[in-house]
Amino acid sequence: MSDRNVSDKKPQPDPAEENAFFPSIYSLSQFTSPKSDLGGADYPTPYRGAKKILMIGADERYLLTDNGSFFSTGNHPVETLLPMYHLDKAGFAFDVATVSGNPVKFEFWAMPSEDDEVKGFFARYHPQFKQPRKLADVIAGGLDGYAAIFVPGGHGALIGIPGSRDVGAALEWAAANDRFVISLCHGPAAFLAVGDSDIYRGFRICAFPDALDATTPDIGYMPGHLTWKFGEKLKTLGFEIVNDGITGAVHRDRTLITGDSPLAGNNLGKLAAETLLKEVTD
């Protein structure tokens, strides 16, 4: 994206949109890696049933910040692909959906470029990412065939998903039917879609800290600050966020399985796969 020095903290222009930016060279050097920590996806007795996992992806790229600039975002590849990889190895197939039915958007600048296993998995699911189902159509057809819902992270999860009635309906169905919901980083913003419902009151989760989001413009990861704090809003629904920083922490509370950041992608995948193999029996 640029030939600038690795110490440059200026956000990099996205030529596809006026006043839109990718993360700075410096922030990419700090928060992305050419190889992921994918490992431990060994499940000798995989799931053989018919239930799938519904992945709800981000379908918007540009997140408006407080200074009028756009952050060029989407779903984070590591936060998407590592949990999916583990669950796939554990025997669970995926259906991919977005709110609009438009393609899933990715923060492709965070793809581990030298990680052939992750890139190969992305290529395998790329047809579904490119042509996902519309979430409303999935709901209309019934959700009984799903063992879990997966909402990946990346700042793209802050756009449209938290206010979607369809996302809210899917999450309320999962809560009412004891289905698992798996998410990490900014993905838990999707829980806001249940509005003022009490279904999550008292749940403990991991999520990306608001305080850390507030510091990212200092290194040019984002071109401006967020216009709202998703963690703060989650607390008004009765959630307790158990992490203050990002260490790769994951947490299960009943049917919610969550992680704190891209560092948690592999850990979340392992926890989710092991949990579903134990709990999903049909």
pLDDT tens column, 213-267: 999 999 999 999 999 999 999 999 999 999 999 999 999 999 999 999 999 999 9
Q: At what angle do helices 116-130 and 77-89 cross, to 10 degrees?
A: 90
Q: What percent of the chain has pLDDT over 70?
A: 99
Tell me which residue has tokens 């997140």: 63
Rounded Cα distance, 73 and 94, in Å: 23
Element (H, E) at 282: none
Residue 80 in this model has a pLDDT that exceeds 50: yes
List the one residue out of 222, 221, 244 whose CA is nearest residue 231.
244
Question: What's the whole-number mean pLDDT along residues 33-61?
Answer: 97
What pairs with residue 56 in β-bridges?
97
Residue type (1 letter), 233? K
Neighbours of 192 (CB within 10 A): 23
Q: Which of 159, 182, 185, 205 is catalytic?
A: 185
Largest CA distance in the chain: 54
Indicate the pLDDT class of residue 2, thresholds 50, 70 and 90.
very low
Confidence grade of residue 162 (pLDDT, cut at 50, 70, 90): very high
Q: Are 189 and 162 in contact (CB under 8 A)?
A: yes
Q: Please report which residue ranges of 178-264 form alpha helices under DSSP H.
A: 210-213, 230-236
Instruction: Give the per-residue pLDDT at 6.
Output: 85
Rounded CA separation 72/69 (Å): 10
Interval 172-215: pLDDT, tens? 999 999 999 999 999 999 999 999 999 999 999 999 999 999 99
Active site residue 185: yes
Tokens of 122: 């992305």
Secondary structure of 160-213 in HEC code, one letter for each residue: CHHHCHHHHHHHHHHHHCCCEEEEECCHHHHHHHHCCCCCCCCCEECCCCHHHH
